[in-house]
Chain A
Amino acid sequence: MASNPHLTQPGRAPGGALPAALSTADWRDYWSLLKPRVMTLVVFTGACGLFAAPGHIHPFLAFVAILCIATGAGAAAAFNQWWEADIDAVMKRTASRPLPSGRLEPDQALAFAIILSVASVVTLGFATNWVAAAWLAFSIFFYAVVYTIWLKPRTPQNIVIGGAAGAFPPIIGWAAVTGDVTALPLLLFAIVFAWTPPHFWALALFVRSDYANAGIPMLPVTHGVRETRRQILAYSLVLAAVAVAPWALGLLGAVYGLSATLLSLVFVALAARVAASTTEEPAEMQAEKRLFKYSLLYLAAIFAALVVDRSVA
């Protein structure tokens, strides 16, 4: 405690919350509550869903829709950090976040999350339609309650459920234009859903001691490295099948089909190398690190191919 200047400053009651009016937080702490790096992925997939949708939307309303999707995702991230402040405090990767470090009070973070949630949903509803707003509201609820509070601390399949939480933006983007949800946005949802487990488990393999210390039942901690590698390969095969499905079903053209096939083949090849690896030492997990990096490129490229395909169609 003594090492944390925020917890020993004058005006704070011992062990108690600092009055909001005396908060030491500045705007950067609120900004980091939104997990801006995760937000870039959400913005990108949401924007791709919006651009791929048939129909027309005023450019300013498209901008507002993407802004609302990003804000809603940020609100969900703030809920997540509010709930997991004690877990974040014991993980190296997250210990310096505003809540565990004491720069921000839990009540402030919760109020911030609620305000952003309501503002993003209502604004999206007014700007586009209430179908998109309802999907955004459900995605915030799913991430904050179903994933963060309910399932993440209880099941080693938490990342699979988390994948669903992060897969809503393309649906919301699509619904913002069309006012409904058809097969293609559902397949886009399925791509992000199937992509998440191999992406996060590749990371979890080489930072598993962090999760073990925090008591989070991540698959590498509960079922071991070997089982995690096997599941990474299994989900990669599912991902490859789902990724080419929009083309196979005739919903997208050859540009997307060729791109998805090539990108998925490389993904599966890298996942196979992970599955064949036997090292238990995080520093030596080159195959896992390579898959993790490639998975970021993969998702960006798949969605870019989708937009290009729709543009040339």
Chain B
Amino acid sequence: MNWSPDEEQAYVARRRKRNLVIGLVLGAFACLFYGITISRMAG
């Protein structure tokens, strides 16, 4: 690959942000199922 340092930096920043969002979504998904379980037990 022949990326310039600027392109490389922009790519890494985008990837980091994307990974962060994926992590947050997976965390939210786990919380969602926890909430579903508790709500169903309560209901």
- Of A83-91, A119-127, A130-138, the one with at least 4 CB within 8 A of chain B: A119-127
In the complex, are the beta carbons of A60 and B33 less than 8 A apart?
A: no
Are B35 and A60 in contact, with the CB atoms below 8 A? yes
**Residues from 13 to 27 in B contacting A, C-beta threshold 8 Å:** 14, 17-18, 21
Q: Which residue of A lies closest to B17 (CB)?
A: A26
For residue B35, which residue of chain A has the nearest CB?
Answer: A60
Number of interface residues of B (CB under 8 A): 19
CB pair A58–B42 under 8 Å, yes or no, is yes
Residues on the B chain within 8 Å of A9, using CB? 3, 7
Contacts of B36 in A (CB 8 A): 60-61, 64, 123, 126-127
Closest to B37 in A: A126
Separation of A64 and B37 alpha carbons in the complex (Å): 12
CA distance in complex: A9, B42 (Å): 54
**For the complex, is A304 an interface residue (Cβ under 8 Å from B)?**
no
| CA gap between A57 and B36 in the complex, in Å | 12
Nearest Cβ distance between residue B8 and chain A, in whole angstroms?
10
Q: Identify the closest chain A residue to B21 (Cβ).
A: A27
Bound together, the chains give a CA A127 to CA B32 distance in angstroms of 10
Instruction: Identify the closest chain B residue to A63 (Cβ).
Output: B35
Known: A27-B17, A27-B18. A10 touches B35 (CB 8 A): no
Report if B43 contacts A (CB, 8 A). Answer: yes
B1 and A10 form a contact (CB under 8 A)? yes
Asked if A11 contacts B14 (CB within 8 A), the reply is no
- A119 adjacent to B29 (CB under 8 Å): yes
Taking the closest CB of chain A, its distance from the CB of B39, in whole angstroms, is: 4
Query: Hey, which chain B residues are within 8 Å of A10, CB to CB?
Result: 1-3, 7
| Measured CA separation A264–B22 after assembly (Å) | 45
Check B39 against A60 for contact (C-beta < 8 Å): yes
A61 contacts B43, C-beta separation under 8 Å = yes
Closest chain-A Cβ to B10's Cβ sits at a distance in Å of 9
Query: Which chain B residue lies CB-closest to A61?
Result: B39
Question: Is A222 an interface residue, CB under 8 A from the partner?
Answer: no
Residues of chain A within 8 A of B17, CB atoms compared: 26-27
Residues of A near any B CB (own CB < 8 A):
9-11, 22-27, 57-58, 60-61, 64, 67, 119, 123, 126-127
Q: A27-B18, A61-B43, A127-B40 are in contact. List 19 more A-B contacts (CB 8 A).
A: A9-B7, A10-B1, A10-B7, A11-B1, A23-B18, A24-B11, A25-B14, A27-B21, A57-B43, A58-B39, A58-B42, A60-B38, A60-B39, A61-B39, A64-B35, A64-B36, A67-B32, A127-B36, A127-B39
